[in-house]
């Protein structure tokens, strides 16, 4: 089992920055990759960024160059640094982890970009 707890969401003006954190606990050695997803009202949940066990990363085209996913293995934490935020980035952001046999989700954290 893996538990995920997100933090760092909030209200920010367009052009601003936020850093999301996701602390993982449980069977950490079984995690193959972690990711951030987001879901805006009326939309499907979409992949924002992912990072593998060995540090490979992947980004949605809409956030490439603005968002950075990283991990601190010593703290069992994955980060999402979000810069140059736009109103269309407004969504609930979810942390995600996958093992060979299971997937896990955090509870989500709200990010609102508005003036």
Q: Which band of pLDDT confidence, cut at 50, 70 and 90, is reported for residue 80?
A: very high
Please state the rounded mean pLDDT for residues 37-60.
95
pLDDT reading at 78 higher than 90:
yes
CA angle 92, 98, 103 (to 5 degrees): 70
Q: What is the pLDDT of residue 46?
A: 97
Instruction: Look at residues 38, 20, 55 and name the one whose alpha carbon lies nearest to residue 47.
Output: 38
pLDDT over 90 (residue 91): yes
For residue 113, pLDDT over 90 is answered with yes
Mean of pLDDT over the chain: 95
Please state, in angstroms and rounded to a whole number, the distance separating the CA atoms of residues 109 and 41: 14
What lies within 8 Å, CB to CB, of 64 at 6+ separation is: none
């Amino acid at each position: 089992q893996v538990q995920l707890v997100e933090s760092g969401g909030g209200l920010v003006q367009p052009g601003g920055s936020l850093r999301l954190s996701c602390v993982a606990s449980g069977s950490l050695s079984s995690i193959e990759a972690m990711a951030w997803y987001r879901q805006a009202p009326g939309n499907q949940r979409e992949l924002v960024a992912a990072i593998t066990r060995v540090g490979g990363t992947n980004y949605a085209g809409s956030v490439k160059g603005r968002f950075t996913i990283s991990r601190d293995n010593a703290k069992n934490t994955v980060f999402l640094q979000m810069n140059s935020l736009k109103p269309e980035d407004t969504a609930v952001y979810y942390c995600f982890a996958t093992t060979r046999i299971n997937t896990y989700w955090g509870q989500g954290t709200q990010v609102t970009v508005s003036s």
